[in-house]
Structure 1
Amino acid sequence: MAKRLIPTLNRVLVEKVLPPTKTSAGILLPEKASKLNSGKVVAVGPGARDRVGNLLPVSVKEGDTVLLPEYGGTQVNLGDKEFHLYRDEDILGTLHD
């Protein structure tokens, strides 16, 4: 049975992107060479509500590549995959090609 997690409020479910360990030519890269902490957004919650009750939507959408803080988030294991839950305001930005 496959599990699917849908975040609540302003939380974002992210699958971290693992940096490459070798180049296309087969040269091994040192562990610290690419320390960019990024991930792909898998699911987003509906957003939080302000004091009046208006919905404040999450600023990222499914499929976005985001820059994550070095520490934080909650690790979640679903099946054999590892994901992390972050609050929308903890995500540092989106990455574009």
Structure 2
Amino acid sequence: MKLKPLNDNVLIKRVESEERTASGIIIPDAAKERPQRGTVLAVGPGKGEIKMTVKEGETVLFAKYAGTEFKVDGEELVMMRQDDILAIVE
């Protein structure tokens, strides 16, 4: 299924966090925090005077509880407004 966000919405796939610490300790699933980093899969056209500054393929940082999570074809995705994106990772 292909999704095209409307207005100033952005479709993001979370990037999984590391399973080991720098010292080599394995982190169990129950202790992991939700990743706040993801890859932009699709971007809406914008809304009114709001121009879209993120592009498909960029890696971004976003607020911990931002957006709406859902599954499409077995993949967990997040749809959020561009305002919820904090930074673009370069």
TM-score range for the pair, normalised by the shorter chain length: 0.7 to 0.9
Structure 2 alignment gaps of length 5 or more: none
Aligned length: 87
* Partner of residue 53, structure 1: none
* Partner of residue 95, structure 1: 89
* Partner of residue 63, structure 2: 69
* Deviation of 1:76 (Å): 2.2
Consecutive aligned runs of 4 or more in structure 1 exceeding 6 Å deviation: none
Identity across aligned pairs (percent)?
Answer: 37
Structure 1 alignment gaps of length 5 or more: 51-55
CA distance in 1, matches of 2:70, 2:64: 17
Cα RMSD (Å)? 2.3
Who wins on radius of gyration, i.e. which is larger? Answer: 1
Give the structure-1-normalised TM-score. Answer: 0.77
* Partner of residue 40, structure 1: 39
* Deviation of 1:59 (Å): 1.1
Secondary structure of the 1:48 match is coil
